[in-house]
A and B are shown apart, each in its own frame.
Chain A
């Protein structure tokens, strides 16, 4: 049993749960206390000792069911099915088995262990041997660096347990039933039993192979897919990808929120604060028993986002807006604007609606004309005229766009004014750096007035940018 638990721990580890030796020992000790009474108890005990994060719960539940019951259950089911097919009642079946047992004991040649377990209905041993064989095959395959294939695994497994030999032995046994002095009916049924068990074994082997396939890293595959998704350029996303991207963005935002909270908390304690110390210690007659340190004020940056929502950059804007709003509670004020050629504020939409809905609404065309041709200059001019007051010394201005102006006037002076007023101006360009300045791209005109200019082609880059934004 101990090995089983340790093996289970290894399986969990494979799927991303962090199980240390200490936890495995705890699990074993706890099982000792609680007893192995029922499956539910074992599950609860293992969950309490091995799962340390709530995000791991679903994985644990799935793997527990897969590991602890699948094979054992399959074996039991097979035995039961065989029993039912041969005789009417459980007692009959039992009697049959006893007769078989007697016969086996009388024989001179011993059968192989698996064959014996099979005939004796020794589920425990059978399960154990099959598992061990599976383990050996698995290790062998991993060493050979072969990818998993169910049929091939089943084949290797049957070779490992020596299926050929077992088959031969059982067939021999069936043939030898004649001279045993049994009545014809019993003889027939025994022969039937042996044949059936052989068929069961073949079936079980297939089952083990299938289970092997199931347990082989469903989650790991997911994780690598996600990493690939984060690297994928926004331009090449399919519908499905967009949906998964949204989940990824929410999760990244969560993580960032935690990181920021910790980093901010650490920056709290400062130097000795005389005023507060004296005030605090008046109760002790001014003797400074309780020293107070300066608490650096938590400042939350303000953000103003200007998002280009023309066709070329629609995807990026969507995620940018989503990301920023997911981090709403880290900022004291987020104001967002979208533009193509005219510019409009969408802050209200995000306040009143749930985030995805708000994004849909703003991109639909109610606020501004999304079907126009990009005109950065005009949009900036309008912003300058109407909303420059949104920008002050605590504001970080983020502009998201490819700066492709369709050869309209650039009006970069707007950006100069904005930069003067704001804390910092960040420009995120979804195009690759090599194309900046070519054709109708006005990046070289806008760049001098930006503090930070970054390429923002995929999720990872987006994350890094926002990271920097928040921590400053």
Chain B
């Protein structure tokens, strides 16, 4: 359990996740109040990552439920393993015969069997899906319900019920209550409006694209092998590109991809060629690449005009090797 908002930030930083004050506050509240968090924001800003980091910071298991259209109760909660049941009945045919030995009428036979029917509907034959696993978990878990906006209304209503009580009634087994209420994180890409009831249940967290300084911190943390000057250039370019009207603006995960690519390629400075070659890591649409090319060219030209960097002066390769 977290002791304070600062504690959250600290533990997240240990997991290599730089979170701003807002995220830390909401996570702290969710942990203390036992409310789920609904995380919204553009793709790639770290919504799913947040759940992973949270489970790491708490040292608890991460249980993940990926939502899609057509996801229903069976696939989310539990299923009976019909195949297994059929198999067992077949294998145990002889044994069943033994059990029924000595019964005269059909009614007696049914009676005797019904005394045993607890076996075939026992825990052995239940296939627990994420939600049931979260409920039955021995310790408090982190439950990630990813892309809830892709599921349909019926599933949402069902989920709401579960989130209110964390209790499930399996007719054959009775009611199973959660021993520890998990911390629930729901992510949404806002492709449709979620129901009011669900929204009211949750605390809201909007994660937007990071600020320049923030983004630089993240790159330094996650791609430490990249040179600082290069990292600054990367951040500057991406920040300016986001201001353009693109189909899909690059988010922090794309920035990291680009940073890693540059590190792998052992790039010394961002020249026009390098930029053009590696553009594909941050843009996913042809139209966007074209639009951004102009912007990139301007940036590179500005860099050249600003200050001539001492190229090959103090053996930059050595520095990389040392890292």
CB distance from A296 to the nearest CB of B (A): 13
Interface residue from B82, B190, B200 paired with A54 (Cβ < 8 Å): B190
Any chain A CB within 8 A of the CB of B86?
Answer: yes
Any chain A CB within 8 A of the CB of B248?
Answer: no
- Contact status A52-B200, CB under 8 Å: yes
| B contact face: mostly helix, strand, loop, or mixed | helix
- Contact status A44-B21, CB under 8 Å: yes
CA distance A49 to B293 in the complex (A): 42
Interface residue from A34, A258, A285, A354 paired with B29 (Cβ < 8 Å): A34
CB-CB under 8 A from A438, the residues of chain B are none
CB-CB under 8 A from A262, the residues of chain B are 153, 192
CA distance A40 to B5 in the complex (A): 12
Which parts of A82-100 form the interface with B (CB within 8 Å)?
A: none
Any chain A CB within 8 A of the CB of B152?
Answer: yes
- Contact status A49-B203, CB under 8 Å: yes
Any chain A CB within 8 A of the CB of B138?
Answer: no
Interface residue from A30, A41, A51 paired with B33 (Cβ < 8 Å): A30
Any chain A CB within 8 A of the CB of B28?
Answer: yes
CA distance A48 to B153 in the complex (A): 24
CA distance A277 to B18 in the complex (A): 49
- Contact status A52-B199, CB under 8 Å: yes
CB-CB under 8 A from B26, the residues of chain A are 44, 48
CB-CB under 8 A from A289, the residues of chain B are 82
Whether A48 touches B203, Cβ cut-off 8 Å, given contacts A33-B32, A41-B25, A265-B69, is yes
Any chain A CB within 8 A of the CB of B232?
Answer: no
Q: Which residue of B lies closest to A281 (CB)?
A: B82
- Contact status A48-B29, CB under 8 Å: yes
CB-CB under 8 A from B29, the residues of chain A are 30, 33-34, 45, 48
Interface residue from B22, B152, B193, B196 paired with A265 (Cβ < 8 Å): B152
Whether A57 touches B32, Cβ cut-off 8 Å, given contacts A52-B199, A285-B86, is no
Any chain A CB within 8 A of the CB of B160?
Answer: no
Most buried by A among B25, B86, B287: B25
- Contact status A48-B205, CB under 8 Å: yes
CB-CB under 8 A from A33, the residues of chain B are 28-29, 32-33
CB-CB under 8 A from A261, the residues of chain B are 191-192
CA distance A23 to B152 in the complex (A): 25
CB-CB under 8 A from A283, the residues of chain B are 83
* Per-position 1/0 for A252-275, Cβ under 8 A of B: 000000100110010000000000
| A contact face: mostly helix, strand, loop, or mixed | helix
What band does the interface of chain A fall in when counting residues whose beta carbon is under 8 Å from B? 20 to 34
Any chain B CB within 8 A of the CB of A372?
Answer: no
* Per-position 1/0 for B23-35, Cβ under 8 A of A: 0011011001101
Whether A44 touches B22, Cβ cut-off 8 Å, given contacts A33-B29, A33-B32, A265-B69, is yes
CB distance from A278 to the nearest CB of B (A): 15
CA distance A283 to B86 in the complex (A): 10
- Contact status B86-A34, CB under 8 Å: no
Most buried by B among A29, A47, A354: A47
- Contact status A51-B28, CB under 8 Å: no
CB-CB under 8 A from A258, the residues of chain B are 192-193
Any chain A CB within 8 A of the CB of B158?
Answer: no
Any chain A CB within 8 A of the CB of B245?
Answer: yes
Which parts of A35-49 form the interface with B (CB within 8 Å)?
A: 40-41, 44-45, 47-49
Which parts of B112-161 form the interface with A (CB within 8 Å)?
A: 152-153
Q: Which residue of A lies closest to B23 (CB)?
A: A44
CA distance A92 to B29 in the complex (A): 43
CA distance A262 to B193 in the complex (A): 9
CB-CB under 8 A from B257, the residues of chain A are none
* Per-position 1/0 for B5-30, Cβ under 8 A of A: 10000000000000001100110110
Any chain B CB within 8 A of the CB of A236?
Answer: no
Whether A34 touches B5, Cβ cut-off 8 Å, given contacts A48-B25, A54-B190, is yes
CB distance from A311 to the nearest CB of B (A): 30
Whether A354 touches B193, Cβ cut-off 8 Å, given contacts A48-B203, A52-B200, A54-B206, is no
CB distance from B307 to the nearest CB of A (A): 35
Any chain B CB within 8 A of the CB of A22?
Answer: yes
Any chain B CB within 8 A of the CB of A387?
Answer: no
Which parts of B87-115 form the interface with A (CB within 8 Å)?
A: none
CA distance A22 to B202 in the complex (A): 12
Any chain A CB within 8 A of the CB of B297?
Answer: no
* Per-position 1/0 for A8-40, Cβ under 8 A of B: 000000000010101100100110011000001
CB distance from B139 to the nearest CB of A (A): 23
CB distance from B267 to the nearest CB of A (A): 32
Any chain A CB within 8 A of the CB of B40?
Answer: yes
Whether A354 touches B245, Cβ cut-off 8 Å, given contacts A44-B26, A48-B203, A54-B40, is yes
CB-CB under 8 A from A34, the residues of chain B are 5, 25, 28-29, 32
Any chain A CB within 8 A of the CB of B220?
Answer: no
CB-CB under 8 A from B33, the residues of chain A are 29-30, 33
Any chain A CB within 8 A of the CB of B260?
Answer: no
Whether A52 touches B86, Cβ cut-off 8 Å, given contacts A45-B25, A47-B22, A258-B193, is no
Q: Which residue of A lies closest to B193 (CB)?
A: A258
CA distance A86 to B277 in the complex (A): 66
CA distance A44 to B19 in the complex (A): 13
CB distance from A93 to the nearest CB of B (A): 34
CB distance from A5 to the nearest CB of B (A): 15
CB-CB under 8 A from A26, the residues of chain B are 35
CB distance from B245 to the nearest CB of A (A): 7
Q: Which residue of A lies closest to B70 (CB)?
A: A268
CA distance A261 to B193 in the complex (A): 11
CB-CB under 8 A from A29, the residues of chain B are 33
Which parts of B188-217 form the interface with A (CB within 8 Å)?
A: 190-193, 196, 199-200, 203-206
10 contacts between A and B (CB under 8 A): A26-B35, A33-B33, A41-B21, A44-B22, A48-B29, A49-B203, A52-B200, A53-B199, A287-B86, A354-B287
Residues of B near any A CB (own CB < 8 A): 5, 21-22, 25-26, 28-29, 32-33, 35, 40, 69, 82-83, 86, 152-153, 190-193, 196, 199-200, 203-206, 245, 287
Residues of A near any B CB (own CB < 8 A): 18, 20, 22-23, 26, 29-30, 33-34, 40-41, 44-45, 47-49, 51-54, 57, 258, 261-262, 265, 283-285, 287, 289, 354
The 4 A-B pairs with the shortest beta carbon distances in the complex, nearest first, are A44-B25, A48-B203, A52-B199, A33-B32
Other A-B contacts than A48-B204, A52-B200, A57-B206, 12 sampled, CB-CB below 8 A, are A30-B29, A34-B5, A34-B29, A40-B21, A45-B29, A48-B29, A48-B205, A49-B203, A51-B206, A52-B204, A262-B153, A354-B245
